[in-house]
Amino acid sequence: MKKHLFNNKSILITGGTGSFGKAFCRIVLDEYQPERLIVFSRDELKQYEMSQQYADHADRIRYFIGDVRDKDRLMRAFDGVDYVVHAAALKQVPAMEYNPSEAIKTNIYSAMNIIDAAIDKGVKRIVALSTDKACNPINLYGATKLCSDKLFISGNSYAGLHDTRFAVVRYGNVVGSRGSVVPFFKSKSKEGVLPITDERMTRFWITLQLGVRFVIKSFERMHGGELFVPKIPSMNIMDLAKAIAPNCRTEIVGIRPGEKLHEVMISEDDARQTLELDDCYVIKPAFNWWGKENHASGKRVADGFSYSSDNNPHWLSIPELQRMIEE
């Protein structure tokens, strides 16, 4: 078993029964030696089902029923925890447009709860998951995640003399996650017609496994205050349709409310604070204590730089999309 900061430590993941949470738990339990891994989520049935799937690691995994909206429950759950991954969120764009107050309670107020609980309980490092929709947001989900990102970044100053450090990871669509377009297209392919919002639409694309490994690497190299953006490929929606159901016809239905034609992960305004590393970009915080030695190997991006799904130099071909979907 390789040496790692997770070994012999206590790790908690909020939203642990979701797609990311289950993949994170599998990789951490198989490849590292945590003292305990705590799954924090609201649904007792999903926790029971997960406990059956992870029975081979029953001695190290724990299940904690709770809601990130409940600060008292988080205080209890964070007792003795070294590292936290915050993956819990309400994220379905149409549902959040219809239920804005619920998105605010879960995605914003809960971020404040986690920051307070982590500082008060002496958690060492927290990585919060974000989304490309938080960059120049046009829907409520993106707006709430932008607020959450700002809260977690500022949490490093709010921590004062405490050692707790916060970072954020922002990436794009996850292949095969619950609610993603892949299972939707697979279901629709049985009808022989795939609904396409706009044939020009592009998206960033990442697998669950790559997303998990990027989060783990972010724990390793964070100083506190970074917003990490991985270098990942883009795909065109028409290529995805051909990869999933080449024999189906397509029907243009129009862009839904709150949806973009292309997604952006780093805007031109963000670029002024952005460093480029080999495998990712780092958006630096505007802290007076942030030193030049932090990510010193990084190179400043050029003026006018932006990282958008339509200007990305790395594109997935139809065969590459098919391989990712199969995996």
Going by their DSSP bridges, the two strands 10-14 and 307-308 should be labelled as: unpaired
- At 188 the pLDDT is 87
Contact present, 186 and 244 (Cβ < 8 Å): yes
Rounded to two decimals, what is the model's pTM?
0.94
Contact present, 29 and 37 (Cβ < 8 Å): yes
Going by their DSSP bridges, the two strands 280-283 and 227-230 should be labelled as: antiparallel
Q: Cα separation of 169 and 140, whole Å?
A: 19
Q: Answer with the residue of higher pLDDT: 173 or 110.
A: 110
Does the pLDDT at position 1 exceed 60? no
Does the pLDDT at position 321 exceed 70? yes
Q: Cα separation of 249 and 207, whole Å?
A: 26
- At 179 the pLDDT is 66
| pLDDT band of 186, cuts 50, 70, 90 | confident
The average confidence (pLDDT) of the chain is 93
Q: Cα separation of 86 and 116, whole Å?
A: 13
H helix runs in the chain, sequence order: 19-31, 44-53, 71-77, 93-98, 100-104, 110-121, 140-158, 181-188, 208-221, 237-244, 268-271, 318-326
- At 172 the pLDDT is 85
**Across 20-42, average pLDDT:** 96
Encode pLDDT of 243-287 as tens digits: 988 889 998 999 888 889 999 999 999 999 999 999 999 999 989
- At 218 the pLDDT is 98
| pLDDT band of 325, cuts 50, 70, 90 | confident
Contact present, 241 and 194 (Cβ < 8 Å): yes
293: which residues sit within 8 A by CB, 6+ positions away? none
Encode pLDDT of 92-150 as tens digits: 888 999 999 999 999 999 999 999 999 999 999 999 999 999 999 999 999 999 999 99
Strand partners, 57: none
Does the pLDDT at position 203 exceed 90? yes
Would you list the domain boundaries of the chain?
A: 10-174+206-231+265-306
Query: Cα-atom radius of gyration of the chain, to the nearest Å?
Result: 20
**Across 172-188, average pLDDT:** 81
Catalytic residues, which ones?
A: 133
Contact present, 143 and 183 (Cβ < 8 Å): no
Does the pLDDT at position 316 exceed 70? yes
Q: What percent of the chain has pLDDT over 70?
A: 98
- At 257 the pLDDT is 81
Q: What percent of the chain has pLDDT over 90?
A: 81
CATH topology (fold) of 10-174+206-231+265-306: Rossmann fold (3.40.50)
**Across 294-309, average pLDDT:** 94
Helix (H) or strand (E) holding 14: strand 10-14
